[in-house]
Amino acid sequence: MPDMPVSKIMELASKGRDDVVRYLQQLIAVPSMSGQEEEVIERVGVLMREVGIRQVRVDRLGNIIGVLGKGPRILAFDAHVDTVDVGDLDAWEIKPFEAVAKDGFVFGRGAADQKGGMASMILAASILGQIGLPEGMTVLLVGSVMEEDSDGLCWQYLVNEERYIPSWVVLTEPTNLAVNHGQRGRVEIEIATMGRSAHAASPEQGTNAVYLMTPVINAVRKLGSKMKDDGYLGKGTVAVTEIISRAPSLCAIPDLCRIHLDRRLTAGETDKTSLDEIRALPEVRAANAEVSIPDYSKPSYRGYHYMVKKYYPAWVLDRDHSLVQAGLRTAESLQGSAARLGTWNFSTNGVATQGMFGIPTIGFGPSEEKYAHTPDDRCPIDHLVTAGAFYALLPWILDGLVPAPPPTESVESADRG
Ligand SMILES: [Zn+2]
């Protein structure tokens, strides 16, 4: 393996400590709920240009892509720049958009999930601008949108419509500086029962869709106690999260009842297996219920509708895979024996990159899952520096670990330029 610029990268990362704090503060100060990311994307663009990235573009959906290098081997770093809402403001000791840095942390909505990752990516770009990239390597820095509302949608768009097909993806969601290589998936399922309306004064003349649904709900509840446990990714789960009914008036028998299920998928479970499992329930058959996966179709901040099924596959990249190994070696170079391998409890854009497209994907990010979506949202400043060093070092470790294939005339360069 060639000499790795470990000490140079660590030195430049610690020199960038104040800068990375400022990047994160600037990102937090701009509220960016899913579907409202326009201003934060602009801010990311300003920061990317500030650290010397010359090639920066915003795609039609609204993702921002900064490009370093021009080699055929493409390493993409992804940070979704949208956040969830703030909830009860009174619960926040430090207000969500004040972006206060103190006691070794930066506080505010999105600090953990996951503007910290974006701040560290920008620090890494600044470092790579100073030391350069291994030959033959391109690094993409992607600020993606709408993840909190529909994880992976942005990457379905990037791969299917924009034809960005990286060789590797690194998600910068919080991992507490562990190398994560998988997560449970999820699918949303709707079950509908159809009855026949009648005057509520003569219920026997109609068929009550709510009553048709009652045994179905009980069956789903029972199913929840029998879910598969993968041992590594954890248990599948199912929960009824909404129930609605429709009747011509409150004095009429409902002719429609619909329930919504949140189904978390563990290894080996898919959209198909979970639909089949629900459709096979005797109670569902008896009620002649319709079972389906709804679509997600909200517009992006650019007004673009990209419709996807609400299916987010579980994924695990084998721990022996060269990307996982490169991630662990990178972490070991920076943290010594503290390097750890893990998985997420929550969901990420890996559902698309690894789960749908099979693009080798890992995660490494500042802060911890436990702060995500809470009024205690925060990111340790030390993590920002270490993650910045990790993202700058990984291309070098990866290049040393996975030799570039010899150039062949028949294979066209995958470089998008
Ligand atoms: Zn996230």
**374-384 per-position pLDDT tens digit:** 999 999 999 99
Query: What is the CA(227)–ligand 1 centre distance, in A?
Result: 26
CA distances (Å), origin 54, targets 16, 39, 118, 132, 333: 20, 20, 17, 14, 30
Query: What is the CA(214)–ligand 1 centre distance, in A?
Result: 35
Residue 411, pLDDT score: 47
pLDDT digits (tens, 9 = 90+) for 78-131: 999 999 999 999 999 999 999 999 999 999 999 999 999 999 999 999 999 999
Read out DSSP for 112-165?
IIIIHHHHHHHHHHHHHHHH---TTEEEEEEEE--TTTSTTHHHHHHHHTS---
Query: What is the CA(185)–ligand 1 centre distance, in A?
Result: 14
Query: What is the CA(285)–ligand 1 centre distance, in A?
Result: 38
Q: Residue with structure tokens 């990457």?
A: 155
Average pLDDT in the 375-401 region?
A: 97
Query: What is the CA(37)–ligand 1 centre distance, in A?
Result: 14
High-pLDDT (> 90) share of the chain, %: 92
Of 37, 59, 78, 147, which residue is the catalytic one? 147
pLDDT digits (tens, 9 = 90+) for 203-249: 999 999 999 999 999 999 999 999 988 888 989 999 999 999 999 99
SS3 category, 300: coil
Read out DSSP for 218-243?
HHHHHHHTT--B-SSS-B-EEEEEEE
Residue 147, pLDDT score: 97
Residue 413, pLDDT score: 47
- pTM value is 0.91
Give residue 409's pLDDT band: very low, low, confident or very high (50, 70, 90).
low
What are the φ and ψ backbone dihedral angles of 225, each rounded to 5 degrees? Answer: -85, -5
Total residues found in the chain within this entry: 417
Give residue 414's pLDDT band: very low, low, confident or very high (50, 70, 90).
very low
Average pLDDT in the 293-320 region?
A: 96
Query: What is the CA(382)–ligand 1 centre distance, in A?
Result: 20
Domains delineated in the chain: 6-183+314-401 (3.40.630.10), 185-296 (3.30.70.360)
Q: What is the dihedral of CA 285, 287, 288, 294, to 10 degrees?
A: -90
135 catalytic per annotation: no
Query: What is the CA(148)–ligand 1 centre distance, in A?
Result: 7
Cα(317)–Cα(203) distance, rounded to whole angstroms? 55
Cα(343)–Cα(357) distance, rounded to whole angstroms? 19
Asked whether the predicted pLDDT for residue 1 surpasses 50, the reply is no
Asked whether the predicted pLDDT for residue 339 surpasses 80, the reply is yes
Report angle CA 169, 170, 175 to the nearest 5 degrees.
150
Cα(364)–Cα(198) distance, rounded to whole angstroms? 58
SS3 category, 269: coil
What are the φ and ψ backbone dihedral angles of 172, each rounded to 5 degrees? Answer: -105, 25
Asked whether the predicted pLDDT for residue 188 surpasses 70, the reply is yes
Query: What is the CA(405)–ligand 1 centre distance, in A?
Result: 34
Average pLDDT in the 179-198 region?
A: 97
pLDDT digits (tens, 9 = 90+) for 12-42: 999 999 999 999 999 999 999 999 999 999 9
Query: What is the CA(233)–ligand 1 centre distance, in A?
Result: 18
147 catalytic per annotation: yes
Of 37, 59, 82, 148, which residue is the catalytic one? 82
pLDDT digits (tens, 9 = 90+) for 325-335: 999 999 999 99
